[in-house]
Amino acid sequence: MRLSNLWLLLILLGMISYASASVCTVRRGNRLVRVCCRGYTKAANGCKPNCSKGCENGLCIRPEVCACKSGYEKQNNHRCRPHCDKCTRGTCIAPNVCKCSTDYALNATGDCAPVCKPACKNGICIAPNKCHCFPGYQENANGDCVPKCENGCDNGVCQTPNQCACNSGYKKDASGRCQPICEDGCLHGICRAPNVCECSKGYHKSNNKTCMPFCDDECINGNCVEPNVCECKQGYEKESYNICRPFCKQHCANGKCIAPNLCACNKGYEMVNEKCLPICSSGCPNGRCVAPETCECTKGYLMSASNVCEPVCSSGCPNGRCVAPDTCKCSEGYLMGASNVCEPVCSSGCSNGRCVAPGTCECSEGYLMSISNVCQPICSSGCPNGRCVAPDTCECSEGYLMGASNVCEPVCSSGCPNGR
């Protein structure tokens, strides 16, 4: 039943009450007198009920009983308060007239809703200046509802739920996180901030801002390719972990490899056909140079006191000189004999003697050199009447014959009777 209808009914009931229950009959002397019953007071139209404490916003329908006006409701036995269909967090000051509490305001439905200043963006105001964020949003330090990125949004701005927009100088990686960008790259390092590359352990910044491997000791003739790892340049080979020496294909014997395939010969050596060969100022005839100024004679030759390889002749080459192994060249005035010995030459032939030197004969025993350089036989008896034709051998002249005493004696054809 609507409140207005109830109100009319109560009024009618009250009027009936005024007419019946409110008037009492009492005896006063010999008379019966009609008076207002207890709890009622006289009114223009009869007896009306009395409500000692009043009946604010209502009608006293029986003693100490109030009936509220339309739009009001019982607060207690003597007071009716206005009724508002919706007035939570406020005061109903008249029927369906709500005065909201501080920090509350009427909303579209006529109820008091909390007020958030500034307004609750991306959320709902659940208490004065207290927002409850929508799903996908979270409250920041200022109490504002801002988009929430479940994986965080470091180095960026979470523009909508789980949508992170990276700051300038950052870009998303495969996991959707904002990572700094190093425009020159950050090989062998970590990009800590836009264009700020922090080199990994064992690397250091080069002049062009790239991370280069660092070797504790200088890489000589090589490049530091990893921390404390040297790689030799082309044409070089490892000598130690940080020193690369030049490589020469010919191994550079008797010299030093000073650059790839470039030998510098040691002192006393010279480059011949890409080999360092010893230098012998003499040229080492009949031998070979085996060390600086040191010859090794060819077979059949022997080093002389003057450091010259001279041929060796086993016979010694008397009266000549050894011109090749076991090959003599006879001196002037000598000729090679049948026994490969240089023999003196005597133009006279040295009859009855032997040639002991060029043009010099030595007479055989029993001969003597004549003035004409001819070996003449010696006859100790002088060979009278004859000539000495061999040692101690006379050849008698014509008319003489060798006698018994080896003396040429005259021959008398008729004999010499009685005489000689």
pLDDT on residue 4:
43
Please give the backbone phi and psi of residue 180, each rounded to the nearest 5 degrees, phi first. Answer: -65, 150
Say if strands 104-106 and 112-114 run parallel, antiparallel, or are unpaired.
Answer: antiparallel
Average pLDDT over the chain reads: 88
pLDDT on residue 17:
39
Domain span at residue 40 reads: 1-83
Question: How many Å apart are CA 382 and CA 373, to the nearest integer?
Answer: 20
The verdict on residue 394 lying in a domain is yes
Strand partners, 175: none
Model confidence band, residue 207 (pLDDT cutoffs 50, 70, 90): confident
pLDDT mean over 23-36:
88
The verdict on residue 3 lying in a domain is yes
Of 35, 61, 83, the residue that ends a domain is 83
Q: Containing H/E element for 264?
A: strand 262-265
HEC states along 322-386?
EEECCEEEECCCEEECCCCCEEECCCCCCCCEEEEECCEEEECCCEEECCCCCEEECCCCCCCCE
Output the domain CATH number for residue 51. 2.10.25
CA dihedral 399, 400, 401, 402 (to 10 degrees): -170
The verdict on residue 63 lying in a domain is yes
Q: Helix (H, G, I), strand (E, B), or coil: what is residue 160?
A: strand
For 291-310, give one letter per residue: b (16+ CB within 10 A) or e: ebeebebeeebeeeeeebbb
The verdict on residue 37 lying in a domain is yes
pLDDT on residue 198:
92
Tokens of 31: 């008379």
The angle subtended at Cα 373 by Cα 367 and Cα 375, nearest 5°, is 15
Say if strands 130-133 and 287-291 run parallel, antiparallel, or are unpaired.
Answer: unpaired
Of 37, 59, 83, the residue that ends a domain is 83
Tens digit of each residue's pLDDT (9 = 90 or more) over 361-378 = 999 999 998 888 889 999
Sequence-distant (≥ 6) Cβ neighbours of residue 416 within 8 angstroms: none
Tokens of 137: 């949003």
Burial of 329 (0-12, 13-18, 19+ CB in 10 A): middle
pLDDT on residue 420:
66
Question: How many Å apart are CA 208 and CA 184, to the nearest integer?
Answer: 9
pLDDT on residue 20:
56
The verdict on residue 211 lying in a domain is no
The verdict on residue 47 lying in a domain is yes
Please give the backbone phi and psi of residue 307, each rounded to the nearest 5 degrees, phi first. Answer: 60, 40
pLDDT mean over 3-14:
43
300: alpha, beta or left? (left if phi > 0; alpha if psi -120 to 50): left
Q: Is the peptide bond before 118 cis (omega within 30 degrees of 0)?
A: yes
Q: Give the chain's radius of gyration (CA, Å).
A: 79
Tens digit of each residue's pLDDT (9 = 90 or more) over 121-176 = 999 999 998 899 999 999 988 888 999 998 889 999 999 999 999 999 999 988 88
Tokens of 50: 């009395």
Specify the DSSP class assigned to residue 332: T
Model confidence band, residue 405 (pLDDT cutoffs 50, 70, 90): confident
Tens digit of each residue's pLDDT (9 = 90 or more) over 269-280 = 999 988 899 999
Question: How many Å apart are CA 136 and CA 150, to the nearest integer?
Answer: 9
pLDDT on residue 98:
92
309 or 250, greater pLDDT: 309
Closest CA to 365 of 347, 349, 353, 383: 353
Residue labelled with tokens 């360092």: 276
Sequence-distant (≥ 6) Cβ neighbours of residue 206 within 8 angstroms: 212
Q: Percentage of the chain surpassing pLDDT 70?
A: 94
Model confidence band, residue 12 (pLDDT cutoffs 50, 70, 90): very low
For the chain, give percent helix, strand, coil, nearest 5.
5, 45, 50
Distance of CA 17 to the CA centre of its chain: 112
pLDDT on residue 5:
47
18 or 123, greater pLDDT: 123
Of 83, 115, 132, the residue that ends a domain is 83
What Å distances lie between residue 16 and 3, 12, 13, 289, CA to CA?
20, 6, 5, 161
pLDDT on residue 364:
92
pLDDT on residue 250:
78
* CB half-sphere exposure, 414, CA atoms < 13 A: 3
The verdict on residue 141 lying in a domain is no
Our count of domains for the chain comes to 2
Question: How many Å apart are CA 229 and CA 237, to the nearest integer?
Answer: 14
Strand partners, 395: 387
CA dihedral 146, 147, 153, 154 (to 10 degrees): 0
Tokens of 208: 């062009």
Tell me the whole-structure pTM to 2 decimals. 0.43
pLDDT mean over 81-93:
90
Are 112 and 122 contacting, i.e. CB atoms less than 8 angstroms apart? no
pLDDT on residue 419:
62
The verdict on residue 261 lying in a domain is no
pLDDT on residue 406:
81
Tens digit of each residue's pLDDT (9 = 90 or more) over 316-340 = 889 999 999 989 999 999 998 888 8
pLDDT mean over 193-216:
89
pLDDT on residue 71:
92
